[in-house]
Amino acid sequence: MNKIILIKYGELTTKKANRNQFINLLDTNIKNSLKNYNIKITKNRVRMFIEVLNEEDFEIIINKLSKIFGIHSIVIANKTDNNIDNIKKEVLKITKEKNFNTFKIETKRSNKNFPIKSMEFNKELGGLILKNIPNIKVDVHNPELLIKVEIRDNDTYIYNEEIKGSGGYPVGVAGKGLLMLSGGIDSPVAGYLAMKRGIKIDCLYFESPPHTSEMAKNKVKELVKKLSNYESNIKLHIINFTNIQENIYKNINPDYMITIMRRMMYRISEKIMNKYNYLVLINGESIGQVASQTLNSMRVINNVTNIPVIRPVACLDKLEIIDIAKKIDTYETSILPYEDCCTIFLPKHPVINPKLEKCIEYETKFNYEILIEDAINNMETIDINNEKSKYNF
Ligand code: ATP
Ligand code: MG
């Protein structure tokens, strides 16, 4: 088979100094994602080439590649050597398979030893096509069929279709972050957007059994699986939050329960981040969406820590978040009706403008530090890729 997949790098080509690191990481991520397929990868500073050794895998591989960050576009090209007659034969073969009225040839000759200049070669190939296919015309401005011919050092690549890649940076290039993942719509989207910027994520889920069910936990695992389409080594940390939550319920003024609960979540997240060297905390907070996400609430909640927190969906409308959730296939799982620990003790009037002094005062009512230590010592960590089971909902 002379078909080959050609990868055009995303934004990374603008980052000159880090270029090799970017390309090597992209290479590793692609190999991880395609580890069950028989392929051969070669790469240089501008392109990556993937030979698919079993033709029947082609479509699945293209689909997997379309989810890998750091890829601008994916091209299926016909490959030939740099012999002029062979290139002509290949160009003619591709054009004869297509249905079109107007066309254009675009040659890029990065191999300057190739004896014909790009413009001249365009004309030669154009003439050849006009001679062999009836009733067609050249249109350099708006052609129905654009054939690209890339003449490189050892080979020539001929193609006309480019599939859009996911863009962004290769996952991992920005370092490691911790995503607070609930079963809702927002946090998986936040995780996806963080990965797109090159952050390698693991997830943290707070559960409150028996108030939250095994099904709610499975839902979160399923969401991690969906996010694993974009990066295959995501771990899920699970914190048992029951004791803390029950103490909040017993001791805290109902209006402040959610505020205090979220302060506890941030405290625990910070400790986990320090223990495992995560650089940033990521969550699905969106400004104004609920009482705990007013700017005032966010400030009072965030006050327990200095760790950097990013909120990728902070400035998106719910509908915009839903659009992304649908695109990344987390939406249907997110709307399954299982309770979250945030919703089970939901007070009637959660405070919209919490006061920091009040939080501090309320928090003296129980010894949360011991409970936090205990929760972290009992944290469970799951490697989702090794979980064979399918979750039934
Ligand atoms: P989502 O749709 O992501 O559940 P939400 O609108 O329901 O968000 P909240 O419940 O207030 O908002 O939670 C805000 C953010 O806090 C979530 O997006 C998530 O990042 C984090 N969070 C909430 N509950 C949990 C939980 N049980 N475990 C881990 N993180 C959580
Ligand atoms: Mg939620």
Domain boundary among 164, 183, 201: 164
Q: Rounded mean pLDDT of the chain?
A: 92
β strands within 44-123, DSSP E: 47-52, 71-81, 102-109
Q: At 271, which CATH number?
A: 3.40.50.620
Its sign, for the CA torsion 128, 131, 132, 137, is: positive
| Residue 197 sits in the same domain as residue 313 | yes
Tell me the per-residue pLDDT of 26-46, one tens digit each, with 9 for 90 and over. Answer: 999 999 999 999 999 999 888
Nearest to 91 by CA among 53, 163, 152, 146: 146
Domain boundary among 95, 129, 164: 164
Of 120, 141, 164, the residue at which a domain comes to its end is 164
Instruction: Name the CA radius of gyration of the chain, rounded.
Output: 27
Distance (Å, whole) CA 157 – CA 83: 12
Q: How many Cα atoms sit within 13 Å of 273 on the Cβ side? A: 23
d(CA 48, CA 27): 8
CA distances from 120 to 91, 123, 127, 199, 332 (A): 15, 5, 11, 46, 54
Same domain, 379 and 230: yes
For atom 14 of ligand 1, the residue with the nearest CA is: 285
Give distance in angstroms: CA of 342 to centre of ligand 2: 6
Whether 250 maps to a domain, the answer reads: yes
How does pLDDT run across 108-161, given as a tens digit for each residue? 999 999 999 999 999 999 999 999 999 999 999 999 999 999 999 999 999 998
Q: What is the mean pLDDT of residues 180-196?
A: 97
Q: Please check whether residue 187 lies inside any domain of the structure.
A: yes
Identify whether residues 260 and 361 lie together within a single domain: yes
Query: What predicted TM-score, i.e. pTM, was given to this entire model?
Result: 0.90
List of residues 6+ apart from 35 with CB closer than 8 A = none
Same domain, 189 and 157: no
Point out which residues pair with 310 in neighbouring strands.
282
**76 occurs within a structural domain:** yes
Mutate-to-test residue for ligand 1 from 182, 310, 336, highest number of ligand atoms within 8 A of CB: 182
**HSE-up (13 A, CA, CB side) for residue 99:** 0
Ligand nearest to the CA of 238: 1
Residue 105 located in a structural domain: yes
pLDDT for 45 equals: 85
Neighbours of ion ligand 2 (CB under 5 A): 182, 184, 340
Same domain, 180 and 151: no
Instruction: Tell me which of 178, 179, 185, 186 to substitute to probe ligand 1's pocket, judged by most ligand atoms within 8 Å of the beta carbon.
Output: 186
Alpha-carbon dihedral sign for residues 335, 337, 343, 347: positive
Are residue 242 and residue 139 in the same domain, yes or no?
A: no
How does residue 14 score in pLDDT terms, banded at 50, 70 and 90? low
**Interaxial angle between packed helices 257-276 and 368-377, expressed in degrees from 0 to 180 and rounded to the nearest 10:** 50
Residues 182 and 160 in one domain: no
Residues 340 and 371 in one domain: yes
Segments forming the whole domain that contains residue 48: 3-164
Q: What is the mean pLDDT of residues 219-246?
A: 95
* 181 domain-assigned: yes
Residue 353 lies in a domain: yes
Q: Which ligand is nearest to the CA of 187?
A: 1
Residues 209 and 95 in one domain: no
pLDDT score, position 256: 95
Q: Is residue 380 part of a domain?
A: yes
Atom from ligand 1 closest to the CA of residue 188: 3
Number of domains into which the chain is organized: 2
Longest dimension (CA), the chain: 88
Atom nearest to 340 CA in ligand 1:
27
| 312 and 276 part of one domain | yes
| SS3 state at 90 | helix
Distance CA 302, CA 269 (A): 11
Instruction: Look at residues 212, 208, 236, 238 and name the one whose alpha carbon lies nearest to residue 224.
Output: 236
Pocket test for ligand 1, best of 181, 185, 187, 245 (most atoms within 8 A of CB): 187
User: What strands, in cross-sheet order, belong to the sheet with 380-383?
Assistant: 309-310, 280-282, 175-180, 199-207, 235-240, 380-383
For residue 236, the ligand closest to its alpha carbon is 1
32 Cα to the center of ligand 2, angstroms:
31
DSSP string, 291-337: GGGSHHHHHHHHTT--S-EE-TTTTS-HHHHHHHHHHTT-HHHHTS-
Mean pLDDT confidence for 225-236: 93
Domain membership of residue 169 (yes or no) is: no
325-362 confidence digits (pLDDT tens)? 999 999 999 999 877 766 667 778 889 999 999 999 99
* Ligand 1 atom 31, closest CA: 182
CB distance 192 to ligand 1 below 6 Å:
no
Give me ligand 2 centre to Cα 206, in Å.
Answer: 11
Same domain, 212 and 359: yes
* Residue 186 near ligand 1, beta carbon < 6 Å: yes
Asked whether the beta carbons of 279 and 269 are under 8 A apart, the reply is no
Q: Are the CB atoms for 383 and 235 separated by under 8 Å?
A: yes
Residue 222 has a pLDDT of: 95
Q: Are residues 146 and 67 in contact, defined by beta-carbon separation less than 8 angstroms?
A: no
- C-beta of 52 in contact with ligand 1 (< 6 A): no
Q: What is the CATH number of the domain that holds 65?
A: 3.30.2130.30
- Claim to verify: residue 147 and residue 201 sit in the same structural domain: no
- Give 227 Cα–ligand 2 centroid separation in angstroms: 17
191: helix, strand or coil: helix
